[in-house]
Amino acid sequence: MARDERLICDSAALAEGGAGVRFALEAAGGEEDCFAVRHGGNVSAFVNRCPHMGSQLDWQPGEFFDMAGLYLVCATHGALFEPASGLCVAGPCRGASLARLRTRERDGQVFLLNDAARATPPDAKR
């Protein structure tokens, strides 16, 4: 039976608009590199793969935000993503989304929900 949740990190590890925490998700055919960040007081987690060419987003390990701390940015092509939804708002994959993962924050810790499940399908349209 699959676990309902898995610890990603302590809440304190995710500063508002700061460095993210990388983690791996078991997937068919291997592991997916993933990350969690905090923005607007909330935690969001995504598969670390740009929908444009599949490259990882972070320009240094754990560095996902632009200089202003407003958007997630793809280090390869400069695409900008909303940190809450993963929707690409600028760049070559505009309108596409990062694959979002469900999380829960409680008791000073951040958990990945549905550990055995793949990433939720991208919300390409709103």
What letter would DSSP give residue 26? E
Model confidence pLDDT, tens digit, residues 45-83: 999 999 998 899 998 999 999 999 999 999 999 999 999
The phi and psi torsions of 49 (rounded to 5 degrees) equal -150, 120
What is the percentage of the chain residues whose pLDDT exceeds 90?
76
In this predicted structure, the answer to whether residue 114 has a pLDDT above a threshold of 80 is no
- Note the pLDDT of residue 28: 74
Mean pLDDT, residues 109-120: 70
Surface-to-core class of residue 105, CB atoms within 10 Å of its CB (0-12 exposed, 13-18 middle, 19+ buried): middle
The residues spanned by each domain of the chain are: 5-113
CATH number assigned to the domain covering 5-113? 2.102.10.10
Whole-number Å distance between alpha carbons of 52 and 64: 16
